[in-house]
Amino acid sequence: MKIITPEISVIIPVYKAHSTLERAISSINNQLYDQDKIEIILSVDDNSKYDHFKLLNKNIRILNPSGKLRTGAGEARNRGIKIARGKIIGFLDADDTWSSSYLCELKPIAMRYGMAITKTEILNQNGNHLFTLDPGHNFEIKHFGLLPGSFHPLVLKKLAGPFPDGASQDVIHCINLLKKIPYRSKIPSHSKYQIWLNEKSKTFQKDFSKLVDNSYKYWRHYYFKELKVENSFTNIQIIRVLQNKIIWNNKFMKSKNEESFYKFISSKI
């Protein structure tokens, strides 16, 4: 039997993900894209067994770490990138989903520019639409500050990673990609990365916002130092973005509402 080399590798970091992982995998199965050209890498970051999820898709690979566990989503993604066979890498969280046109719309853009980004839709725990983070015509670094939230790229493997350690690692990874890739493509019309609010998620807790705040301040300081070496407009943009992120995050931490960050900003934008 001829072995088909996948065109796209989808990396899902999994940590206590049994209750939501089937939904995430189903959204990959529902893609309007040749399933034989997609591999799914479950990058395990806990002591749990996920082998039974192979029944959902024949192209699932389970990546169990040889070293320590609980390294965080960023390092789990880095391990997945190392073993990925696809020319293009997609990143999906275990409690999120993709709209069915995600790969069809983003792949041609990623092949041309090196990466592709689409809108982020926020759904409540029942899957009902709350709001959409939509930069409009195209996507630039500044949108990370104007639109509080995260965006998830489809990217050529040779450009993917490494993800930094700690909170907000996905935001920093995407910003770094935009810094080195002259990406100015129009945002796809229909595709969406869908974030599901999850009360059991670590990011749902207000304590997590303090970690995010510390991370943004660390990276702001990092790019201030970079600015002394490379006085570029891009570095200035990144510093402004991180400052805006800090402002949004501080507004949330000071609020008295016992809700998630995305619930908080749904009434602010």
- Report the predicted TM-score, pTM, of the whole model to 2 decimal places: 0.93
Cα three-residue angle 264-268-269, rounded to 5 degrees: 120
Is 79 in the same domain as 127?
Answer: yes
Q: How many CA atoms lie within 13 A of 196 on its CB side?
A: 22
Residue 2 lies in a domain: no
Q: How many domains does the chain have?
A: 2
Provide mean pLDDT across the span 259-263: 85
Specify whether 153 is located in the same domain as 245: no
Residues 181, 60 share a domain = yes
> What is the tens place of the pLDDT at every residue in 142-166?
888 888 889 999 999 999 999 999 8
**How confident is the prediction for the chain on average, in pLDDT?**
91
Position 120 in a domain: yes
Does residue 107 share a domain with residue 42?
Answer: yes
For residue 118, the model assigns a pLDDT of 95
| pLDDT for residue 189 is more than 70 | yes
3-state secondary structure of 12: strand
Residues 121, 249: one domain?
Answer: no
Question: Any idea what the CATH number is for the domain that residue 193 is in?
Answer: 3.90.550.10
Which runs of consecutive H residues, i.e. helices, occur in the chain?
Answer: 21-29, 73-83, 102-113, 143-146, 169-180, 206-229, 233-254, 261-266
Using the predicted structure, report yes or no on whether residue 238 has a pLDDT greater than 50. yes
* Residue where one domain finishes, among candidates 157, 175, 200: 200
Q: Yes or no: say if 119 and 132 are a contact pair by the CB < 8 Å rule.
A: yes
pLDDT top residue among 18 and 265: 18
> The tokens of 187 are what?
């945002």
Q: Are residues 209 and 252 in the same domain?
A: yes
Residues 12 and 90 in one domain: yes
Q: Which domain holds residue 218?
A: 203-266
Please state which of the ranges 20-29, 60-69, 177-186, 211-220 shows the lowest mean pLDDT.
177-186
Asked if 178 and 210 sit in the same domain, the reply is: no
pLDDT digit string (tens) for 33-45? 999 999 999 999 9
User: DSSP assignment, residue 63?
Assistant: E
In this predicted model, what pLDDT tens digit does every residue of 72-116 receive, in sequence order? 899 999 999 999 999 999 999 999 999 999 999 999 999 999 999
